[in-house]
Structure 1
Amino acid sequence: MRWTIKPIPKPEKTKQLVEALKVDPFIAQLLVQRGVETYEEARQFFRPTLNDLHNPYLMKDMDKAVDRIEKAIQNEENILVFGDYDVDGTTAVSLVSSYLKTFYPNVATYIPDRYDEGYGISFKGIDFASDNDFSLIIALDCGIKSINHVTYAKERNIDFIICDHHRPGEFLPEAIAVLDPKRDDCTYPYDELCGCGIGFKLIQALGVNRNQTIEDFIPYLDLVATAIAADIVPMTGENRILAYFGLQVINAEPRPGIKALIHQIKKQTLDITDVVFIIAPRINAAGRIKHGNHAVELLTEFDFEQAQQFASEIEQYNSDRKDLDKQITKEALLQIEENQEKERFTTVVFQENWHKGVIGIVASRLIETYYRPTLVFTKSGDFYAASARSVSGFDVYNALEACSEYLEQFGGHMYAAGMTLKPENYENFKAAFEKVVQQTIHPDLLTPEITIDTEINFTDITPKLTRILKQFEPFGPLNMTPVFLTKKARDTGYGKPLGQENEHLKLFIKQNNSEGIPAIGFGLGNKLEVIKDGRPFDIVYSIDENEWNGKVSLQLRLRGIIPNENYE
């Protein structure tokens, strides 16, 4: 692990915030690091309000999208709401379809089969629309590169509205409207919305004609917050506002489907981390193991008893997903060990019978062991399909684009992507991908990094600090949980390993004459020798809360421990 302390940003801005907010300098520093530089920006950061959401009509083609939907309603056309099978896609489909159904009955949903149709808009889906007299398809979280599909639909007198957040290619599909803030010609003020977020802006715009206010859309924010958390989009701007209020809905009055999931896990209050690691994997499991339709059924069900039945089925899918994930990861690690060649800059593995629904998770697991841009391939029909995951700071999408001559199709983001290729192109692609990464990645990026916000002492950790840090939530990319460095800490003699294989570490730490603070270090069991016998050590950590038997207490969540270098 590399420990990297962020540079002190814009000292003059930090000083101005100290004076304006009456906070400690390191709190002001944390804010400036997150792009919060003025009193007004601090007000928006600490006091999110739905009034700060942008006018949806600022998005390119929004007026065209709304006009076409209103025309479809006027003419009593059938509308098909189409979306990807992951969390972002299924929440987006659930959101837009359930909103439309509040005032118009001729609405149906379609989620492509991950194994039969693959990612995104499918010809089979368009054929379904044609056979069932749908004349308008609203595509969510996909479609920005579906030029041939949209043309195919037009030939069958089916119009498309595309709501996507992925990067466009050189040309856009000839849809009635293409809502994507990442379009070069779109001047919408915020371009980091997820697919469900774009869907939310669409229903917000439709609400204008119905004299609805933003308060009418609050019940939909549990879906939007779930998608924001799952899709790992920046926790800034509109995303942060939507996630903030969405979490309130999740914890106070979620829709029956989400309530049923929470009911199964028996947790009182959920934060954004719980949504990422508890809610999202269960919604995802439907599309990974069975079919994404099961997630939409759950999220659009209004009878709680029926929702509980759906949630129970999804719980089983999630259990199956865990078993597959564990087994395939084991096989992939074995394959890497057996084929260990010269030092490589990438990890690329393939086995034709690996379950396509979990290869993305497996790619993430492999990065935990071999910290490299990683591709996990399996057979999908006549093609090989892969999920890509990247290391912090490296754009895997750009790397795939540089090798696109060998690919049939690809799409995604900086850190996660998917692709298909012909089997005969696999070896050439693998060599090209290795070469591109080798030539473009900075060597430092091949070692995991802990990024530290600032150094503090234990005397700085006060109830006031913990209250302020709580207000930094919800956390996510570009607003990560603050990470601190403290030097010359010592265990008070209570340090002990935890876990079946002693893989974790529990401590009670002091610094100088400070009061002791309990700490937990997951995966740091091997650091027991460093902290023994009262020896000083340096720690990197976030300030956390531990809930036990209804009591909440302060604890440090350790990220790293090293011997203090000045100790003799």
Structure 2
Amino acid sequence: MVEKRWNLLAQPTETSDKEDITNLCHELNISPELATLLWQRGVTNFDEAKTFFRPELEQLHDPFLMKDMDIALQRLEKAIEQKETIIIYGDYDVDGTTAVALVYGFLSKFYDNLHYYNPDRYKEGYGISKLGIDWAKEQGASLIIALDCGIKSIENITYAKQIGIDFIVCDHHEPGEILPDAIAVLDPKRKDCAYPFKELTGNGVGFKLLTAFCLKRDIPLEELFEIIDLAMVSIASDIVPIVGENRILAHYGLKKLNTNPRVSLKALKEVSGFQGEMSIESVVFTIGPRINAAGRIKHAKAAVQLLLSENYEEAVDFAYEIQNHNTERKTHDSQITAEALEMIRADDWLLTQAKSTVLFKEDWHKGVIGIVASRCIEHYYRPTVIFTKTKEGFAAGSARSVVGFNLYQAIESCSHLLEQFGGHRHAAGMTISIEQIEPFRKAFDEAVVANISDELLVPQIDIDIELKLEDITEKFYRIMKQMGPFGPKNMQPVFMTRKLSLAATPRILKEKHLKLELLEKESGVTMTALGFNMRDNFYDKLLNTDEFQAVYSLEQNTFRGQTSLQLFLKDLKF
């Protein structure tokens, strides 16, 4: 286990901040600890608290504030009036497939000359492919709506225009200096776009296009909100900040998933074996990987077929097919991760000197190299790129970053060695000729060394506040839970407690986990704590110490009909 640094987040120190905390305590009838959690999330008064705890769909922004939205809608309306063939084209990941299901599924209620298309991860790669455009031409299409891709597909969108196909691009990735020659480019990250919220998913941009479509045609927005659970799945799985519009969409999407889900998501949940109420985190680890597995192992079209299914028995069949893909993905994942870690251990430069990890093996499965990059970071915490050979004789790479480091910038500085690349500060993909991998490895490491601090190479646990075990009550947990949905920029609160000791000998679960009974010395309060994969690092230390500190989140545990609060341990210090 990599040693972690503990970072206590900003605490109220100014007089005005402390007054805000005091006012929140009185106005909301909550403890100072809960008021501090709200203050850290930018909530400083009753009205802001009301908006935070009770997000409303009416708070979503006017879609026509987005640059090119009026042009996009005019072109879509023209296509429908003239009965043109329209292709809904989406990426092969969760964001792309849910976006296709969202836009195709909704528009097909009002127009039937529609097809959808997802590129093959292996034959076509990321973005708009020439193969996809030629397929669209064969269908007689004259308009393609691109979702979660297109912002960097300059050449292929120009090619489409030359053969008589217009594009509406709905993307959320960082644009380059040149925008594609499309009829409309919807991307809130455009420098000339004044749209107030910049962190939508590709699905979210598609959702705004549909919102504009509804407003123009006087279609009740309630009809669109019926598919809000698809927007939520993309927000959860694409790891975007859950603030602003994303928070509203995620809140209502989760509500729908847990009360009246579409049959496809209900089937995925059942096949996964998950029981109980789903959170953003459970969507990330349960629904997201299964949808992703379709494109990783076979073809993303299977995920869209599932998501569009309106028959439960059919949806369950599709879900089992995807479940099998996910099982295969896990096998590739664990095998390749083991090989990658062994390569790092066998390379003295990588092990002792490098500030990054760049690995290549011809036969690694392209569909899981991004996951493997993340797994390597769990063991060797630094920016990581994993390459494998493509059928065309190039190498495809998937990159992941560490918190606080701009990966995209580092890759961009090596762009002269790459055939193509795209992504953002946290994750990226690229294509490179195999002979350039070694020069890239050196250039990338130099870029990392020049821009990363030693501090960023140690994983950080952000701690919201110090807490005493005696402060943890059912009311505290109930109010804290209402601060969700949790995710980036509104993470589940993490707490630190000092002066703890063991109330009983630690129990070992499944040979690697720990179950502890913690005693707070000052108050005499005891609580149960679970530490996953903590046996090797902490069991002996716990037996040989009188006092320690713990960092944890709070969870509710139900066992044999009894529900209680327990600590979910993240780290211990002695």
Task: Name the TM tier (shorter chain).
Answer: over 0.9
**Would the aligned equivalents of 1:98 and 1:300 in 2 still touch at CA under 8 Å?**
yes
Q: Is residue 2:377 matched to residue 1:367?
A: yes
**Would the aligned equivalents of 1:491 and 1:534 in 2 still touch at CA under 8 Å?**
no
Unaligned runs of 5+ in 2: none
Shift of 1:518: 0.8
Shift of 1:449: 1.1
Instruction: Give me the whole-angstrom Cα distance separating, in 2, the residues matched to 1:17 and 1:241.
Output: 25
Instruction: Give me the whole-angstrom Cα distance separating, in 1, the residues matched to 2:49 and 2:506.
Output: 39
1:264-303 alignment to 2 at 5 Å?
A: 264-266=271-273, 267-303=275-311
Calculate the aligned-residue CA RMSD, in Å: 1.3
Deviation string 1:189-230 (CA, Å, 9 cap, x unpaired) is: 100011111111111110012323332222211111111010
**Would the aligned equivalents of 2:23 and 2:45 in 1 still touch at CA under 8 Å?**
no
Query: Please, which of 395, 401, 407 is the counterpart of residue 390 of structure 1?
Result: 401
What residue number does 1:508 align with?
Answer: 517
Shift of 1:533: 6.3
Deviation string 1:278-328 (CA, Å, 9 cap, x unpaired) is: 000000000000000000000001111111111110010000000000110
Q: Which amino acid aligns with 2:410?
A: A
Instruction: Give me the whole-angstrom Cα distance separating, in 2, the residues matched to 1:199 and 1:149.
Output: 21
Shift of 1:175: 0.7
1:523-542 alignment to 2 at 5 Å?
A: 523-525=533-535, 526-532=537-543, 535-542=546-553
Instruction: Give me the whole-angstrom Cα distance separating, in 2, the residues matched to 1:333 and 1:64.
Output: 50
What residue number does 2:256 align with?
Answer: 249
Shift of 1:268: 2.7
Shift of 1:503: 2.0
Q: Which moved more, 1:543-552 or 1:257-266?
A: 543-552
Please state whether the residue corresponding to 2:368 is helix, strand or coil: helix
Deviation string 1:481-504 (CA, Å, 9 cap, x unpaired) is: 1111100011111422222xx321
What residue number does 1:222 align with?
Answer: 229
What residue number does 2:40 align with?
Answer: 33
Shift of 1:430: 1.1
What residue number does 1:167 align with?
Answer: 174
Q: 1:27 and 1:360, CA in 2 relative to 1: closer, same or farther beyond 3 A?
A: same
1:486-525 alignment to 2 at 5 Å?
A: 486-499=497-510, 502-512=511-521, 513-525=523-535
**Would the aligned equivalents of 1:348 and 1:375 in 2 still touch at CA under 8 Å?**
yes
What residue number does 1:19 align with?
Answer: 23
Instruction: Give me the whole-angstrom Cα distance separating, in 2, the residues matched to 1:511 and 1:175.
Output: 63
Deviation string 1:131-181 (CA, Å, 9 cap, x unpaired) is: 110000000000001111111000011000000000000010111111100
Query: Please, which of 116, 137, 147 is the counterpart of residue 144 of structure 2?
Result: 137
Q: Which moved more, 1:211-220 or 1:168-177?
A: 211-220
What residue number does 2:124 align with?
Answer: 117
Query: Please, which of 446, 459, 465 is the counterpart of residue 448 of structure 1?
Result: 459
What residue number does 1:399 align with?
Answer: 410
Q: Which amino acid aligns with 2:471?
A: D
1:60-79 alignment to 2 at 5 Å?
A: 60-79=67-86
Instruction: Give me the whole-angstrom Cα distance separating, in 1, the residues matched to 2:75 and 2:18.
Output: 49
Q: 1:218 and 1:18, CA in 2 relative to 1: closer, same or farther beyond 3 A?
A: farther
What residue number does 1:53 align with?
Answer: 60
Instruction: Give me the whole-angstrom Cα distance separating, in 1, the residues matched to 2:370 and 2:87.
Output: 28
What TM-score, normalized to structure 1? Answer: 0.97
Shift of 1:26: 2.5
Deviation string 1:329-378 (CA, Å, 9 cap, x unpaired) is: 11111111112224110011100110000000000000011101000000
Shift of 1:453: 0.9
Instruction: Give me the whole-angstrom Cα distance separating, in 1, the residues matched to 2:272 and 2:369.
Output: 25
**Would the aligned equivalents of 2:127 and 2:152 in 1 still touch at CA under 8 Å?**
no
Q: Which moved more, 1:524-533 or 1:303-312?
A: 524-533
What residue number does 1:355 align with?
Answer: 365
Unaligned runs of 5+ in 1: 564-568
**Would the aligned equivalents of 1:492 and 1:534 in 2 still touch at CA under 8 Å?**
no
Instruction: Give me the whole-angstrom Cα distance separating, in 1, the residues matched to 2:56 and 2:524.
Output: 39
Instruction: Give me the whole-angstrom Cα distance separating, in 2, the residues matched to 1:352 and 1:271.
Output: 38
